[in-house]
A and B are shown apart, each in its own frame.
Chain A
Amino acid sequence: MITMGMEFMEEVPFHHVYINQLIRDKKGRKMSKSLGNGIDPIEVVEEYGADAMRFTLSILAGQGRDINLDVKNILNYKHFANKIWNASRFSLMNIDQTTVTDAYKKDDLALSDRWILYRLNETVRSVTQGLEGYDYNLSSKSIFEFFWNEFCDWYIESIKPVLYQPEYAGRKQNTQSVLIHVLDKSLRLLHPFMPFITEEIWQMLPINKEKEHLMISKWPEYEQMKDFEKDANAFANLMEVVRGIRNVRSELQIPPYDKIDISCIYKDTKPFTIEETLYIQALASVNEIHQASEKPSRSSTALVSPILDVYCHLSGTIDLEEEKVRLAKKIEKAETDVKHAEKKLSNEKFIKNADEAVIEETKEKHREAMMTLERLRMLMSDFEG
């Protein structure tokens, strides 16, 4: 094509050539009729939808690597499509559709609003840059992580009190505006990857639209949001605290309705503000936050960081001796898991012969087991100390 273009048009036929990956089966073998290991795209669309297939292919399209495709991958991104659907459905059902606008008031934003707007902006940048450089993998990963981990798992959870509880009525409208704004922009960012589901949802958004179809609407622009950075970091720290408390709660099987107290040792940070306190209480099912100078007795470590330490108070109903026995068992199991994975990974034969995916999986298992073990040992040392 280049030769003929130069000969007859005296100009290159195209500026960029993207060489797409070879698709192999999950074991890394070439798909072929004789092996019967092909996956028919039209059948996949029938079963999972085109959007799920497209997203899978895009996120697996890393430059310079072949794609080992497993139908399980496609199922995973069908779940992502479901997640998009359910989060959008939830948003639509929890906004006042007659009065809501996507133009939020910038001077009346809560901490999590400022955080999600900042994160959205960063996501706009990475998705755009990725697509400009044909890095489909980076772009899809970036919007996937933003939408699922940040928007659904954290932002929506963080605004539930505002949406549901009458004492926050004054905040409600602006929160709804941010919610719909972020949803609108997310759908735009997702559209090239998942055109159908995003168009269907976007049509339902009660906002002023510059175009009839999402497919010809405007791509979000990256803005200067330096003034949001500090609050975004504050919320990210707060997420660390909440994760730590949730881990303790889950290891000790403390039910969500059982609110606990925590103690914080502020090393290189100011005590939590009232707003931050409210988030922690709501997101980690916390009762009171105490300031402390050392680890309280009968407590479990939720977080140890350079700026602050967080401890969960254990109520009288928890039998420490019983917990120790239970933890010891769990530690034993985690140790076996770690050893098992280590043995496999140090086996030269395994490394040489196993499929790359299986090796990766084993490494991942090893990492997870190590982390679990570390967490459990920390809990154990709390009980023993």
Chain B
Amino acid sequence: MAELEKHYDPKDIEKKWYERWEKSGDFKPTGHGKPYVIVIPPPNITARLHMGHGLNLTLQDISIRFQRMMGKDTLWVAGEDHAGIATQNVVEKKLKEEGKTKNDLGRPLFIEKTWQWADEYRGHIRDQIRTIGCSVDWSRDRFTLDEGLNKAVRKVFVALYEKGLIYRGKYIVNWCPRCNTVLSDEEVEHVDEKSSLWHFNYPLKENGGYVTIATTRPETMLGDTAVAVNPSDERYKHMIGKTLILPIVNREIPIIADQYVDKEFGTGAVKVTPAHDPNDYQMGIRHNLEFIEVIDENAIMNENAGIYQGLDIKEARKRVVEEIERLGLLEKIEDYTHSVGHCYRCDTTIDPRLSDQWFVKMGPLAKKAIEVVENDRVKFYPDRWKKVYLNWMYEVHDWCISRQLWWGHAIPVWYCENCGHIIVSETDPSSCPACGSDHLRQDEDVLDTWFSSALWPFSTLGWPEQTQDLEKYYPTSTLVTGFDIISFG
């Protein structure tokens, strides 16, 4: 007679059933009925799953199991994310314990080592997904860095490049001077820090007098190319368009009016350093200002910083303030707490700076993505996220897709060392089509992890090959995800 054990003990039951289900093939789609498909938002391989994953995976599995019992042809595609910067940091840390750096190994060996590590940790993540009971189809398990995905990534890169939607340009980026890499906004953690608000007087060129500006970063004044006020600020209305003499540097800079300026902040007049602050960068674009870099990629003052060249930021800040005071232009110093961006990996203070990067021009691409959400062909649950998504997409920025890392999808761009020709190709070229030289150098950067993630719903089903899965299971049914995905369109 069938009888249950006296006491409920989840441990044995859960292990036993997961193994049986997986072995039976019941996680695979049946091939009958209307498809119901979810592609897993791939968890990073670098960390244990956290409770956010616990929730995300549980809700997906509930929907998948429900639809499967409803008789749908149910597929949940499994997958893990190679997590560019995070994984590279873990491996670098391990090397450091052995007293080595990635440069000691060289790129190929470092990548080989990272693959070993990644394979092992992928296994751990898969086990954790099993532990939660997820009925994913392991026979379709994908990795954001696997060969098929690399093919998809290259195809997309080349296609967008040929359409003029990928370009190389200078851009203000979140720069971690320790990791020497660009970080996405999501990779920057903001922490409140106690600091000061320095008030400097910038003299007017004519008729004496000055404008007092307030700043949290005195050292960047060396790169100022304007002072901005709010156009509706009565205090400054009569000064708009006048010229100031930038102290120390003695450069003539204009007073401009911009809506971005907060009348309540400091004196209502702010210095504009387009090369070292993201908001100033935008003002620089709007007002056609000069971009003068004064800090290099290691957070050291560069040749444009004059006598401060070679100093680190902290020292430069101290000396600039001293000099301003000596010149009698220091109005006051206030205590000030403000939010400062830090690298989410190594906690170093972020230094916004200009850098040569690859970009995706988002405007033309966003058009259709906006349309399908506006007319509910893609429906958000809860529906308030529709507005959040649309607001984001209406103001979408061009997307910086290059990362100064080794671990990731290599950018499929080659430079001819002989004639400088740029080759953008799905397959590795052997010689330059312009001059025939075989001295080619591949771009050293890799693509932002999100570049491959953006293709995930169709690349995992086999694209660019025209597979049966793609035919049958695309478009997928549901994406269950955290809200941070919104910014990736």
What is the CA–CA distance of A19 and B4 in the complex, to the nearest angstrom?
A: 39
Asked if residues A64 and B69 are in contact (CB atoms below 8 Å), the reply is no
Q: Is A262 an interface residue (CB 8 A)?
A: no
What is the CA–CA distance of A46 and B379 in the complex, to the nearest angstrom?
A: 37
* B478 proximity list for chain A (CB < 8 A): 14-18, 134
Q: Mark A90-106, 1 if CB is under 8 A from B, else 0.
A: 00110001000000000
Residue among A4, A42, A52, A216 with max Cβ neighbours from chain B (10 Å): A4
Asked if residues B50 and A54 are in contact (CB atoms below 8 Å), the reply is no
What is the CA–CA distance of A89 and B5 in the complex, to the nearest angstrom?
A: 8
Of the listed stretches A188-196, A239-247, A279-287, chain B binds A188-196
Asked if residues B456 and A1 are in contact (CB atoms below 8 Å), the reply is yes
List 8 A-B residue pairs with CB atoms under 8 Å apart, sorted by A's residue number. A14-B39, A14-B476, A15-B477, A49-B10, A61-B55, A195-B61, A200-B16, A213-B20
Q: Is A12 an interface residue (CB 8 A)?
A: yes
Nearest chain-A residue to B482 (Cβ)? A20
Q: Which residues of chain B in 382-420 are interfacial with respect to chain A, using CB atoms and an 8 Å cutoff? A: 382, 384-385
* A200 proximity list for chain B (CB < 8 A): 4, 13, 16-17
Q: How far is the CB of A82 from chain B (nearest CB, A)?
A: 5
Q: Which residues of chain A in 1-21 are interfacial with respect to chain B, using CB atoms and an 8 Å cutoff? A: 1-9, 11-21
What is the CA–CA distance of A54 and B131 in the complex, to the nearest angstrom?
A: 11
Asked if residues B133 and A54 are in contact (CB atoms below 8 Å), the reply is yes
Q: Is A168 an interface residue (CB 8 A)?
A: no
Q: Which residues of chain B in 225-263 are interfacial with respect to chain A, using CB atoms and an 8 Å cutoff? A: none
**Other CB < 8 Å A-B pairs besides A38-B50, A45-B131, A92-B2, 5 of them?**
A8-B463, A44-B54, A67-B55, A195-B61, A216-B68
What is the CA–CA distance of A9 and B440 in the complex, to the nearest angstrom?
A: 33
What is the CA–CA distance of A52 and B384 in the complex, to the nearest angstrom?
A: 30
Asked if residues A42 and B49 are in contact (CB atoms below 8 Å), the reply is yes
Q: Is A217 an interface residue (CB 8 A)?
A: yes
User: Which residues of A come within 8 Å of B, CB atoms?
Assistant: 1-9, 11-23, 31, 38-42, 44-46, 48-54, 57-58, 61, 63-64, 67, 69, 81-82, 85-86, 88-89, 92-93, 97, 131, 133-134, 136, 188, 191-193, 195-197, 199-201, 204-206, 212-213, 215-219
8 Å CB contact of B133 from A20, A42, A50? A50
Asked if residues B455 and A40 are in contact (CB atoms below 8 Å), the reply is no
3 closest residue pairs by CB, A with B: A49-B10, A41-B54, A13-B457
Q: Is B159 an interface residue (CB 8 A)?
A: yes
Asked if residues A61 and B59 are in contact (CB atoms below 8 Å), the reply is yes
* B378 proximity list for chain A (CB < 8 A): 2, 12, 14-17
* B381 proximity list for chain A (CB < 8 A): 16-19, 63, 133-134
* B454 proximity list for chain A (CB < 8 A): 1, 3-4
Asked if residues B131 and A57 are in contact (CB atoms below 8 Å), the reply is no
Q: Mark B61-91, 1 if CB is under 8 A from A, else 0.
A: 1110110111100000000000000000000
Q: Is B307 an interface residue (CB 8 A)?
A: no
**Given known A-B contacts A14-B479, A18-B59, A219 and B70 have beta carbons under 8 A apart:** yes
Asked if residues A52 and B10 are in contact (CB atoms below 8 Å), the reply is yes
What is the CA–CA distance of A88 and B65 in the complex, to the nearest angstrom?
A: 22
Asked if residues B458 and A20 are in contact (CB atoms below 8 Å), the reply is no
Q: Mark B270-285, 1 if CB is under 8 A from A, else 0.
A: 0000000000000000
What is the CA–CA distance of A218 and B477 in the complex, to the nearest angstrom?
A: 21
**Given known A-B contacts A17-B481, A18-B480, A213-B26, A54 and B58 have beta carbons under 8 A apart:** yes
Residue among B26, B53, B66 with max Cβ neighbours from chain A (10 Å): B66
Nearest chain-B residue to A97 (Cβ)? B1
What is the CA–CA distance of A31 and B377 in the complex, to the nearest angstrom?
A: 34
Q: Is B141 an interface residue (CB 8 A)?
A: no
**Given known A-B contacts A38-B51, A42-B131, A13 and B458 have beta carbons under 8 A apart:** yes
Residue among A3, A38, A51, A206 with max Cβ neighbours from chain B (10 Å): A3
What is the CA–CA distance of A293 and B377 in the complex, to the nearest angstrom?
A: 65
User: Which residues of B come within 8 Å of A, CB atoms?
Assistant: 1-4, 6, 8, 10-11, 13-14, 16-18, 20-21, 24, 26, 30, 39, 48-56, 58-59, 61-63, 65-66, 68-71, 128, 131-133, 135, 156, 159-160, 362, 365-366, 368-369, 372-373, 377-382, 384-385, 453-458, 463, 474-483, 485-486, 488-489
Asked if residues A57 and B369 are in contact (CB atoms below 8 Å), the reply is no
* A12 proximity list for chain B (CB < 8 A): 372, 377-378, 475
Asked if residues A49 and B11 are in contact (CB atoms below 8 Å), the reply is yes
Asked if residues B24 and A8 are in contact (CB atoms below 8 Å), the reply is no
**Given known A-B contacts A1-B479, A9-B474, A14 and B8 have beta carbons under 8 A apart:** no
Residue among A52, A191, A195, A213 with max Cβ neighbours from chain B (10 Å): A195
What is the CA–CA distance of A257 and B356 in the complex, to the nearest angstrom?
A: 86
8 Å CB contact of A40 from B17, B50, B480? B50
**Given known A-B contacts A16-B479, A201-B4, A192 and B62 have beta carbons under 8 A apart:** yes
Asked if residues B479 and A217 are in contact (CB atoms below 8 Å), the reply is no
**Given known A-B contacts A19-B483, A51-B14, A69-B51, A218 and B58 have beta carbons under 8 A apart:** no
* B377 proximity list for chain A (CB < 8 A): 12, 15
* A217 proximity list for chain B (CB < 8 A): 69
**Given known A-B contacts A14-B378, A19-B382, A9 and B463 have beta carbons under 8 A apart:** yes
* B70 proximity list for chain A (CB < 8 A): 219
What is the CA–CA distance of A81 and B11 in the complex, to the nearest angstrom?
A: 13
* B52 proximity list for chain A (CB < 8 A): 20, 22-23
**Given known A-B contacts A13-B457, A41-B53, A197-B13, A20 and B480 have beta carbons under 8 A apart:** yes
8 Å CB contact of A193 from B10, B17, B62? B62
What is the CA–CA distance of A29 and B213 in the complex, to the nearest angstrom?
A: 37
* B48 proximity list for chain A (CB < 8 A): 40, 42
8 Å CB contact of A8 from B8, B51, B71, B458? B458
What is the CA–CA distance of A134 and B379 in the complex, to the nearest angstrom?
A: 12
What is the CA–CA distance of A51 and B131 in the complex, to the nearest angstrom?
A: 10
Asked if residues A2 and B8 are in contact (CB atoms below 8 Å), the reply is no
* A48 proximity list for chain B (CB < 8 A): 10
* B71 proximity list for chain A (CB < 8 A): 218-219
What is the CA–CA distance of A3 and B364 in the complex, to the nearest angstrom?
A: 9
Q: How far is the CB of A202 from chain B (nearest CB, A)?
A: 11
